[in-house]
Structure 1
Amino acid sequence: MESAITTPPRRVMASPRKPPSLQTLRCSHLLGRTTKDVSNNSPRRLTCCKATGGGGGRVDRRDVLLGLGGAAAAAAAGLAASPGGALAAPIQAPDLASCNTPEIPDTATGLSCCLPYRPGTAIVDFVPPPASAPLRVRPAAHLVDKKCLAKYERAVALMKKLPDKDPRSFAQQWRVHCAFCDAAYDQVGFPDLDIQVHNSWLFFPWHRFYLYFHERILGKLIGDDTFALPFWNWDAPDGMAFPAIYNNRSSPLYDEKRNPAHLPPFTLDLDYNGTDSPIPRDQQIKQNLTIMYRQMISSAKRTELFLGQPYRQGDQPDPGAGSVENVPHNPVHLWTGDTRQPNGEDMGIFYSAARDPVFYAHHGNVDRMWHIWRGLRPGNTDFTDPDWLDAAFLFYDEDARLVRVRVRDCLDPATLRYAYQDVGLPWLNAKPATEAGSAAPATGTLPATLSQTVRVAVTRPRTSRSQKEKEEEEEVLCVEGIEIADHLKFVKFDVFVNVSSQSGAATTAAAECAGSVAMAPHAVRPGKEKGTMKTAARFGICDLLDDIGANADKTIIVSLVPRCAGDTVTVGGVRIVYIK
């Protein structure tokens, strides 16, 4: 949180090879239970406040409670008062009987992403596997042996043979991602607001559950309760190529809609801009490792910087992604998608991304990053806000039962009885190198459209901060009022501080790079204040300022360098805040 209250200094622990066991937060299943009352009557329209610069426009929840009838108010159970007296508002599992046509490109018309559902279907609360259950160990995809690969291929083949209406079928499994990325379901009590599981603090827990149930369904199909999904180990040199096990045309893991130029052994670019870099493999690997260091360590020292911005019932979607969701998660989606397809299908656009089996390997490593981040330093802890812990989702399990889960249920992989193969963390010490040179001068003002590089002077409220002050509060660069007019394009711009290059050619592996805003294409619902997507970005810059010798600077020059579709992006402002 943004605050000036003093807290004890944070001790940085030695960089571990493997994160320690993580404390499990047990679920109280008495919290936030909901009952649905579906009506054919048109819902009462609620006027939403216009989104602020952070994209977090919100309806007053007290007004909503007063305006809802008894049954609808019960459906909005997440709006109940919390013990501290504040009005709690976790995102609640949607009413599956009320599903919208997904907002997908015109070239994909006729597609339904609604989850299979019959009125009256029983919903059970999630219960974790017993502690005695076998531990599923997810292997690195490039290290999968023939026996494990054969089991994986058999499981996916069986999943693809299930009837399309079976919620466990591959046809339905990939549509789950579409449903919660492309406006298929509304927030309970807010018919003008859809549920979006990207670009917020829901990103990591929702996708963890998604893989958890997908993995268990596959294991059940082959009668193997030790079956585990591979992960794409793109944070290590040996995994920085498309995983070969997915590239066999005769395999059920194969997908035709992939970028043919990026098949193995082509080296992966974790900060892909839509154009392949001509640099040698060893240099690309070095840049990738430096980017991982920034996204996992130097720019991710506070919970919201890593996990993403708060997103509660009544909030506009897309308040802001965390570091790893921005990069490398989104660029890897684009890098994998097929440039011959109208929208970069399959991986290059969210509605179809999970149609490619490599999606689950990609997100396996994303999930692994969450687990690793928690063990990197004592301050790397999850949110304790009940609005995060009690956010609820629905998934079908391996027995086709509809299960209500909450974020608090998924915080410890060990409790879910899975783990990751230990393959080391080669980016732990991959700090960026600094370059000599004076900062390029400011050349613009904000708001501005990023049709070209914009450089603005930003005043720092505090200078020459001590190490103790830096440990207590992270200095954060906020890029606010980001508006994206065409969200069906991949959008990316890089953010630099005091960069000396005036050509916009500086690499994101440079010490002056604070990070990037990368948005994978996904639709937002028209006619509901969503012709333009609104979001914000935050970057931790304490280490950056030290590395470039700018800790005493009263003013810094922030450069916004467009890389993809900059002419569709407007930025409202940039400022400095301090967060505990």
Structure 2
Amino acid sequence: MIQTLSLPKRFLLLFSQLPASPCPHYSPLLLLLPLLFLAFLLLSPPQPPHRPIQAPNLSECHPIFVSSASNSPLLNCCPPILSPPYKILDFTFPLPNSPLRTRRPAHLLDSHYISQYSKAVQLMKDLPDTDPRSFYQQANVHCAYCNGAYDQPGFSNLQLRIHGSWLFFPWHRFYLYFHERILAKLIGDDSFALPFWNWDEPAGMQMPSAFVNNNSSSLYHPTRNPSHLPPVLVDLNFHEFWLRNQSDENAHSVDDNLRIMYRQMIQNGATSELFMGSAIRAGDHPEPGGGSVEFVPHDTVHTWTGDPRNHNDEDMGAFYSAARDPLFYPHHANIDRLWSVWKTLGPKHKDFSDSDWLDSTFHFYDEEARLVRVKIRDCIDMDRLRYRYQEVDNQWINMIHRTKKKKKKRNIGIINMREKVKFPVSVGNEAVVVSVKRPKRGGKEEVEVLVIEGIEIDGTDYSVRFDVYVNAWPDDFKRPNARECAGSFVSLPRLGRVVNGRTNLKLGIGELIEEEEDYDEAVTVALVPRKGKATVSAVYITWLS
């Protein structure tokens, strides 16, 4: 293996190779070299260390709490204990001539496919719990990685959590990939593919009938919201708050859902960081900040599907139990599809090129029950993984607001509220309104971003949500899909081990502010609580490239 030397090391190597007793004409060079080397060290920019997240040691897995109560039971969602020494294989791609599996919309499935799919899931459920391919253990994979059952290797005080960062999309892609391969193996059909719940398209905005119509099917699950069964329209911006303040439970509409998709995919997805989440490297605190789609509609559809008769809306409404519901997998298949769609929407919509992202690793069991080490760089190209998505319309792409918003008369109440805010501030009892200065733009390619920094959740066993409004009147706070709503912070129940740390929310507001007729050097930002309590350290605007 060829070793690549850094520039300082090359310089020292060159210096060491000069003659020990140089001729006189070497003297000026010998005197000059140390000075040149010192100048090089002072002027060279520091090189950041390579710190990708490393796959956890599966034998060092911790039970988690499912409630913050003192008598909370412990849940063991750890994988089967392996007898050392065990072998970990490096991931290899399927053969290029293997079948290209096509994932289809769940609402368009035919009876033959539904029969095969339900058979595959039943066979997976029939496997013994000690088999890492069993449905029980497949659900535990999500539970362990999402609730802090593992520590980061080398950092016993830092949990590994794959939500709330740039790990979210690639980890779930691999999770679905191996889940799908196991199902295909069980029914002996290498062309089998998972369906996707196409909830962002009007025809797919209901729970898919294959998962609700037959309670003897392996796809049926009893712990879903009984008030949200077909033909009830899914609410991509769902929260219980709206139901308590509406006379009609279906007051939201298809257009509301499409506008939410436009806001999250385009307005709040203008850069890789905004869409995919903030960077996390080895030694960093977990959950530095999720991407736009992870908050809404990912979290909101989880909550909408979960059963409110359970304390944490289990199963889909809590991360530790979500993957017990077969509908979890089509839900996440659509999230995975949206990642691929996002990359077609503009020149800035690209995957990270950071080696710490590309070289982050995880462990999964494959269809042969072999433990496999994967790198994020291995999941970027769906064609190499031999699957694709059936083409469908994405009507939300055209839901941009085309009329300019007129300048509104100053609201004296809002002005008085925003002048009294001192950070850190609690968001829980009433709206927090603050005036935020807009910094000068650094470059033409940069995007104006509102940052809600240092969000710390008050409590562990309930979900938290607050909505963020820009230049809005108090009456706008009553409307979840108001144009003035820049986005939302949504957190499903934070169960697991002790959770310490803060996270952040970043929202693209350039398009929202450009609709104003007059330019303002500051904007009025309102944090409107919907459920639970959180503390916010700062609110400011910056520019991201």
User: Aligned to 1:163, which of 109, 112, 128?
Assistant: 128
Aligned match of 1:506 in 452, 457, 479? Answer: 479
Aligned residue in 2 for 1:449: 426
Indicate the RMSD between aligned Cα atoms, in angstroms: 2.1
1:562 aligns with: 529
Give the equivalent residue in structure 2 for 1:578: 543
Task: Give the match's secondary structure for 1:475.
Answer: strand
1:315 aligns with 2:315: no
- Could you give the per-residue CA deviations for residues 464-512 of structure 1, whole angstroms, max 9, x where no partner exists? x6xxx775100110001111012321111111110123562133x3222
Q: Is the 8 A contact 1:241 1:264 kept in 2?
A: yes
C-alpha separation in 2, matches of 1:101 and 1:572? 31
- Greater alpha carbon shift after TM alignment, 102-111 vs 186-195: 102-111
Gaps of 5+ in 2: 4-45
Give the deviation of 1:282 after TM superposition.
Answer: 8.5
Secondary structure of residue in 1 paired with 2:64: coil
Equivalent in 146, 151, 158 of residue 186 of structure 1? 151
Distance 1:439 1:260, change over 3 A: farther
CA-CA distance at 1:449 after TM superposition: 1.1
How far apart are the structure 2 equivalents of 1:148 and 1:208?
22
CA contact (8 A) 1:511 1:548 kept: no
Following superposition of structure 1 onto structure 2, how do residues 134-213 of structure 1 map, counting pairs within 5 Å?
A: 134-213=99-178
Distance 1:152 1:86, change over 3 A: same
Q: Give the structure 2 partner of residue 261 of structure 1.
A: 227
**Whole-angstrom CA distance in 2 between matches of 1:115 and 1:281:** 41
Q: Which residue of 2 aligns with 1:92?
A: 54
- The 5-angstrom pairing of residues 370-381 of structure 1 reads 370-381=339-350
Aligned partners of 1:392 and 1:404 also within 8 Å: yes
What letter is aligned with 1:521? P
SS in 1 for 2:280: coil
Aligned to 2:263: 294
Amino acid aligned to 1:400: A
Contact 2:461 2:494 in 1 (8 A): yes
1:362 to 286, 307, 331: 331
Query: Where in structure 2 are the equivalents of 1:530-569 lying within 5 Å?
Result: 530=499, 532-549=500-517, 552-565=519-532, 568-569=533-534
Give TM-score, length-normalised by structure 1: 0.81
In percent, how many aligned pairs have the same letter?
A: 49
Unaligned 5+ runs, structure 1:
1-27, 31-83
Distance in 1 between the 2:108 and 2:510 partners?
A: 37
Matches within 5 A, 1:417-432: 417-432=386-401
Of 407, 417, 438, the match for 1:460:
438
1:486 aligns with 2:455: no
1:520 maps to what in 2?
A: 492
Query: In structure 2, what is the equivalent of residue 77 of structure 1?
Result: none
Point out the structure with the larger helix share.
2
Which residue pairs with 1:227 in the alignment?
192
Following superposition, the deviation at residue 579 of structure 1 comes to 1.0
Alpha-carbon separation, structure 2, partners of 1:434 and 1:491: 33
SS at match of 1:496: strand
Q: Is this contact kept in 2: 1:167–1:173, CA < 8 A? A: yes
1:216 has 2:181 as partner = yes
Question: Per-residue deviation at 1:86?
Answer: 2.5
C-alpha deviation, 1:97, in angstroms: 1.3
Structure 1 residue 379 displacement after superposition: 1.2
2:344 is paired with a residue of what secondary structure? helix
Q: Could you tell me which amino acid in structure 2 is paired with residue 330 of structure 1?
A: D
Report if aligned partners of 1:511, 1:547 keep a CA contact under 8 Å in 2. no
User: Secondary structure of the residue that 2:324 maps to in structure 1?
Assistant: coil
Q: CA deviation at 1:533?
A: 4.7
Which letter does structure 2 place at the counterpart of 1:239?
G
Structure 1 partner of 2:237: 271
After TM superposition, the structure 1 stretch with the greater mean CA deviation from structure 2, 116-125 or 301-310, is 116-125
8 Å Cα contact 2:466/2:490 also seen in 1? yes
DSSP 3-state at the match of 1:428: helix
- Using the TM superposition, give the Cα deviation of residue 409 of structure 1 relative to its aligned residue in structure 2, in angstroms: 0.3
Native 8 Å contact 2:65 2:74 kept in 1:
no
TM-score of the superposed pair, with normalisation by structure 2:
0.86
**Would you say how many aligned residue pairs link Structure 1 and Structure 2?**
487
Greater relative contact order structure (CA < 8 Å, 6+ sep)? 1
Q: Distance in 1 between matches of 2:470 and 2:443?
A: 18
* CA shift in 2, pair 1:439/1:262, >3 Å: farther
Aligned partners of 1:439 and 1:557 also within 8 Å: no
After superposition, the Cα gap between the structure-2 partners of 1:434 and 1:264, relative to the gap in structure 1 and judged at 3 Å, is farther
1:438 is displaced (CA, Å) by 3.7
Contact residue 264 and residue 296 of structure 2 kept, 8 A = yes
Residue in 2 that maps onto 1:4: none
Q: Contact conserved, 1:236 with 1:426, CA < 8 A, in 2?
A: yes
Structure-2 separation of matches of 1:172 and 1:280: 36
Q: Aligned partners of 1:298, 1:279: CA distance in 2, in Å? A: 29
The one-letter amino acid paired with 1:455 is V
In structure 2, C-alpha distance between the alignment counterparts of 1:198 and 1:155, rounded to whole Å: 28
Amino acid at match of 2:352: F
| Match for residue 316 of structure 2 among 347, 355, 366 | 347
AA at the equivalent of 2:87: A
Give the secondary structure class of the aligned counterpart of 1:292.
helix
Encode CA deviations 1:186-207: one digit per residue, 9 max, x unaligned: 1000000110000000000000
Alignment-mate amino acid for residue 513 of structure 1: C
Distance 2:374 2:165 in 1: 18
Give the Cα separation in 2 of the matches to 1:421 and 1:498. Answer: 40
Q: What corresponds to 1:249 in structure 2?
A: 215
Displacement of 1:360 after TM fit? 0.3
Q: Does 1:326 align with 2:299?
A: no
* Contact 1:458/1:574 (8 A) holds in 2: yes
* Structure 1 ranges of 4+ moved more than 4 A: 277-283, 433-436
Alignment pair present for 1:472 and 2:418: no
CA contact (8 A) 1:229 1:361 kept: yes
Paired residues of 1:262 and 1:336 also in contact (CA < 8 A): yes
In structure 1, C-alpha distance between the alignment counterparts of 2:365 and 2:410, rounded to whole Å? 54
Query: Counterpart in 2 of 1:497?
Result: 470
Q: Is the 8 A contact 2:405 2:515 kept in 1?
A: no
Matched residue SS, 1:205: helix
Specify whether residues 362 and 471 from structure 1 end up closer, same or farther in structure 2 by C-alpha distance, changes over 3 A only. farther
Q: In structure 2, the residue corresponding to 1:350 is in which secondary structure?
A: coil
SS in 1 for 2:474: coil
Aligned to 2:512, what secondary structure does the other structure show? helix
Structure 1, 552-561 or 435-444: larger mean CA deviation: 435-444
